[in-house]
Structure 1
Amino acid sequence: MLIHTVFDLLAACAALGMTLFVYHWRLRDAARKIDSAGPLYGLALVMGAAIGGFGAGTLNLWLSGAPGIGRSIVGALAGAIIAVEIFKRWRGISGSTGLIFVPAFATSVVVGRWGCFLAGLGDDTYGTPTGLPWGHDFGDGIARHPVQLYESLTMAVFLAVALTLIGRRNGFFMQNGFYLLVLVYAGQRFLWEFLKPYGSVVGTFNLFHLICAGLVIYSLAMMARGKAS
């Protein structure tokens, strides 16, 4: 799994570089809300992401009949959101604080999913069999949906749009950029989950379907609340 580790590091470095770029370019003011929240904000975010990422990833493996320790980026996103929202309510912080993370998160997915793709079957992120011409053999002689690349491409398009809107200082995006990221990421991930051989929880829906549905509801509710206020 060395290739996966290499791409994890590349994704982290790319995300950090993107954050520094957008901070100095357009999002210095957005970052001030986090600075004013204090160091416990970062602690809540990291702890929530770790618990959600490893918890959801591991539970999904068990539900799929493959005991072990797993990681999940959508689980990390959900865990971070829950922890930060609890922290914000405790500290009386209103409004979105996540805009500065939007380009970084999208960048990490764009780069990191290539590591998942190149890691093959051992990564447990491959898709179901397909007869489509772009199906990929991950090492078992079966052409499968390269769902990792579907996700990477989708988030690359989102990143390009996001940077354009940030560059224009689009009012709606500057206020709701994080919620739009959650909506797009969870929405596209919900679709790709139908192309993965994971164990189901309810009907044809696996654990990640349920998490993504919750994230979509969260993002729509937060944007609606912001519009009403």
Structure 2
Amino acid sequence: MILVPTAPWAHYVGDACAWAGAALAARWQHRRWPEEAGRLAAATSPGYFLSLAIGAVIGAWLMGSGNTLRSAIVTPSHSIAGALAGGIVAVEIWKWAKGIRRSTGGGFVLPICVGIVIGRFGCLFAGLPDFTYGTPTSLPWAVDLGDGIGRHPVELYESTAMAIFTIVYVRARLRGARWASTHAFHAMIIVYAAQRFAWEFWKPYPTVIGPLNIFHLLMMGLIVYGILWWRRGDDRAGG
């Protein structure tokens, strides 16, 4: 069992580092592939980014806080999964209103991945008050967050999974793989939701349907979204 030093304020440090890392990743991506930033700028307006920000904030707090409604103590919180879903819904509504039918998420893939990879360390070091810890386990890599109980380091599971996807994506993009330039956002959503769905079984969150918690249901929705958008894009490209 690995003893992990924790402090509630570590979550905010993790958030700050995640935002900084995401900003650097966005800068690198847009310099490496400037045409992608150009396409995004040509297809959007300030309203796009305003909708994205509002949707992300609402989704983050609704999902984070809603997850505690069935707990003994209801606690206002925020969730990266909720922010991602809220941002997607808001952007899709904005695009529908503007008559834009193509994907605009490619430029956000690397920043989002880097943000998740870094941000989850903040969740881990925030400890038990963060309410993102894993269920008890006797595995040799179990972490002790201060209560003497070995737990699944679910934050590190997620961080590792998304780091692997990030490496695969960047290598594929540098090689010119078609999916990495046309379906990277959809691939990221599918991979993120699938791995998050798995780790949710090792979190002590209240269930809503059978063994599934609110994030299981959200991840199922994101997987369907990613697959449908991917197939839609292929259909428009002639298969």
TM-score (structure 2 length as normaliser): 0.93
For 1:32, the equivalent position in structure 2 comes to 38
Question: 1:103-138 CA distances to partner (integer Å, 9 max, x unpaired)?
Answer: 111101111101100111011000000011111111
Matched, 1:197 2:197: no
Q: Distance in 2 between matches of 1:34 and 1:90?
A: 17
2:40–2:107 contact (8 Å) kept in structure 1: no
Q: Distance in 2 between matches of 1:85 and 1:190?
A: 23
- Report which stretch shifted further, 66-75 or 180-189: 66-75
Matched, 1:136 2:143: yes
1:103–1:159 contact (8 Å) kept in structure 2: yes
For 2:105, the equivalent position in structure 1 comes to 98
2:64–2:82 contact (8 Å) kept in structure 1: yes
- 1:72 maps to a residue whose letter is S
1:30–1:97 contact (8 Å) kept in structure 2: no
**Following TM superposition, by how much is the alpha carbon of 1:94 offset from its aligned partner in structure 2, in angstroms?**
1.8
User: Among the aligned pairs, what percent are the same residue?
Assistant: 43
Q: Distance in 2 between matches of 1:167 and 1:66?
A: 48
- Aligned CA-pair RMSD: 0.9
Q: Distance in 2 between matches of 1:222 and 1:100?
A: 16
Q: Distance in 1 between matches of 2:72 and 2:117?
A: 28
State the aligned residue count: 228
Structure 2, unaligned stretches of length 5 or more? 1-7
**Residue 228 of structure 1 is aligned with which of 213, 235, 239?**
235
Question: 1:142-166 CA distances to partner (integer Å, 9 max, x unpaired)?
Answer: 1000000000000110111111112
Q: Distance in 1 between matches of 2:102 and 2:215?
A: 27
**Following TM superposition, by how much is the alpha carbon of 1:194 offset from its aligned partner in structure 2, in angstroms?**
0.3
**Following TM superposition, by how much is the alpha carbon of 1:169 offset from its aligned partner in structure 2, in angstroms?**
2.5
For 1:181, the equivalent position in structure 2 comes to 188
Say which structure is richer in helix: 1
- 1:87 maps to a residue whose letter is W
The aligned runs of 1:83-122 (5 Å cut-off) are 83-122=90-129
The aligned runs of 1:37-56 (5 Å cut-off) are 37-56=44-63
**Following TM superposition, by how much is the alpha carbon of 1:34 offset from its aligned partner in structure 2, in angstroms?**
2.7
**Following TM superposition, by how much is the alpha carbon of 1:65 offset from its aligned partner in structure 2, in angstroms?**
2.9
Q: Distance in 2 between matches of 1:59 and 1:219?
A: 24
**Following TM superposition, by how much is the alpha carbon of 1:183 offset from its aligned partner in structure 2, in angstroms?**
0.2
Structure 1, unaligned stretches of length 5 or more? none
**Following TM superposition, by how much is the alpha carbon of 1:96 offset from its aligned partner in structure 2, in angstroms?**
1.0
For 2:5, the equivalent position in structure 1 comes to none
For 1:13, the equivalent position in structure 2 comes to 20
**Residue 132 of structure 2 is aligned with which of 110, 125, 130?**
125
**Following TM superposition, by how much is the alpha carbon of 1:4 offset from its aligned partner in structure 2, in angstroms?**
1.6
**Residue 72 of structure 2 is aligned with which of 47, 54, 65?**
65
1:65–1:199 contact (8 Å) kept in structure 2: no
1:34–1:41 contact (8 Å) kept in structure 2: no
- Report which stretch shifted further, 61-70 or 50-59: 61-70
For 1:77, the equivalent position in structure 2 comes to 84
- 2:35 maps to a residue whose letter is D
